[in-house]
A and B are shown apart, each in its own frame.
Chain A
């Protein structure tokens, strides 16, 4: 229904004599955030390091001319050299290709599981806090119950109930990690809900869904982003722990976690087996942390210095 009192006709409006296109451009939250992020050199560099990592791991194996799972027992444990830039492992497989393929698993698990935990956690926590009362109590007790379940048993249960696959691994880790996210978001939303601008939004006739999505979630993004960048390494470590138990990725499929473990076993004689995957792993984690820090600042309009 079109309310008669709000006239949508433009005839009554004076020509403002300004370029509306120029004013209109650059209104999105993410566009603003990107402009502010570009001024933060460390965060920007981290961003490009991560882009490089993704390209390196996902496109690299097509260019090495080697296969990550073909054994060559005549060429085991070679040092870095032409043909095998990162050397070979104990079964003679090309370490460069294995680092790339391992990176796919680690980055994939880090990004996908974190995204899953982010989506569930933010939606769940924000809803619980905004609705409040009994719904909040019931929803958060459910989280408490899941918290109390031993994680390993939970994963073993899911892994045996469903067919074992990498995708399932991603989802399972995400499904465990969202609990903390939900609690953090709930706490934040509880305090933001008290602010007058939420009351003002209600008084302007906005629906609850709109208020949560448009007015509350942007206000918690800073905290969420920082926590998400902390979740990524946690998730990567979880993956290597599960792989170690035989519940994660299966050999010959590598991950950075399993490569580091192999390197640690051979540290005295073949340090390059440890150092190279460790450098990639650490570089990724550092970049994620710097980027997360930069994003938190960039997402807050009050932090802009211009």
Chain B
């Protein structure tokens, strides 16, 4: 049984310019020990989906309009209330953030911050907590953890701070780790180490990992299953092989075309024309078809395209967008 089952999640922001439907009917599930990836451009609603689960959406202006998020088969995270959510957050579902430079409190020692996470969720002496904090730092690969545990965050580099965040998030052995673009703010050489570390910690705890990213390269190596989002909706989901070898939605194909590869040296890089749509206006049909510079058959401009099942694991949203052959596009550049 899935440890977390999200169905038909709808989150919107009521702003002065209208209602922004940031997440519009998103469903996904994750099993223990599994890694799923949520990919999409900026503003596709991937972060908002996960923030909704954690109750981190500021309300107002945000509002969760509907859907359920069944955690461990019993608790609906969207309706269980602040007090119940607090016992789950940090203990059973942890989160790491995009920017390790700002996600640690600059005024508190690293030890204090890790120990606090532990002491909040269990009865444990200070001494035990300190021991465990040092062990946790060693586990995330910080050398001489005992002498560094009393440092302040500013004495650490970005990669090390992200390691500290991972240590903090994993110290309570959570069932689910949500990683919101954990490597975006890091150096490329550090990115691989951090991803490897997340995977290693996941194996040690048999946790589920939800990886939010816009980097297809990251999900390809990490994830068992992938959900591709566009304009607040799921456009395609399936196993890593489904998405990378049998991609069916034109948006997924276009995303893959935009990955630079080693062989393409000297050639122009493909970019998807236009911009994602303004979500404050209702989009009745296929949002990708509305994108400037995208040609479509016009079938799904006013009626919402349904999801179609391609195989046991692979689902795709209908679309009649026609992507031009790659050679032609690059010739125009």
Query: A residues engaging B (CB < 8 A)?
Result: 2-3, 5-6, 8, 10, 13-14, 16, 18, 20, 23-24, 26-27, 29, 132-133, 195-197, 199-207, 210, 214-215, 218-219, 221, 299-302
Contact = CB atoms under 8 A, between A and B. Distances in A.
Given A6-B122, A8-B124, A23-B150, A203 B107 contact: no
Q: How large is the interface on B (under 10, 10 to 19, 20 to 34, 35 or more residues)?
A: 35 or more
Interface in B105-121: 105-109, 111-112, 116-118, 120-121
13 contacts: A13-B132, A14-B135, A18-B134, A23-B130, A23-B134, A24-B126, A133-B60, A200-B168, A202-B89, A203-B94, A204-B90, A204-B116, A215-B105
A6 B92 CA distance: 10
B102 A195 contact: yes
Contact of A203 (B95, B123, B130, B154): B95
Interface in B27-72: 54-56, 58, 60
A29 to B, nearest CB: 7
Given A5-B173, A16-B131, 12 more contacts: A3-B121, A5-B172, A8-B125, A18-B147, A23-B150, A24-B130, A26-B150, A204-B90, A206-B120, A210-B120, A301-B107, A301-B109
Nearest to A301: B152
Nearest to B102: A196
A1 to B, nearest CB: 8
A3 B135 CA distance: 20
A200 B149 CA distance: 19
B259 to A, nearest CB: 28
A219 B106 contact: yes
A200 B135 contact: no
A175 B111 CA distance: 38
Interface of B: 54-56, 58, 60, 85-92, 94-95, 97-99, 102-109, 111-112, 116-118, 120-128, 130-132, 134-135, 146-147, 149-150, 152, 154, 165, 168-169, 172-173
Contact of B111 (A3, A27, A197, A215): A27
Nearest to A222: B107
B202 to A, nearest CB: 15
Given A6-B121, A8-B123, A13-B132, A200 B108 contact: no
Which of A6, A215, A219 has the most C-beta atoms of chain B within 10 angstroms of its own C-beta? A6
Given A13-B135, A200-B103, A200-B104, A205 B90 contact: yes
Given A197-B104, A200-B103, A204-B90, A214 B116 contact: yes
A93 B58 CA distance: 65
Chain A to chain B: the 9 pairs with minimum beta-carbon distance, closest first:
A205-B90, A204-B90, A205-B89, A6-B122, A18-B146, A196-B103, A218-B107, A203-B95, A301-B152
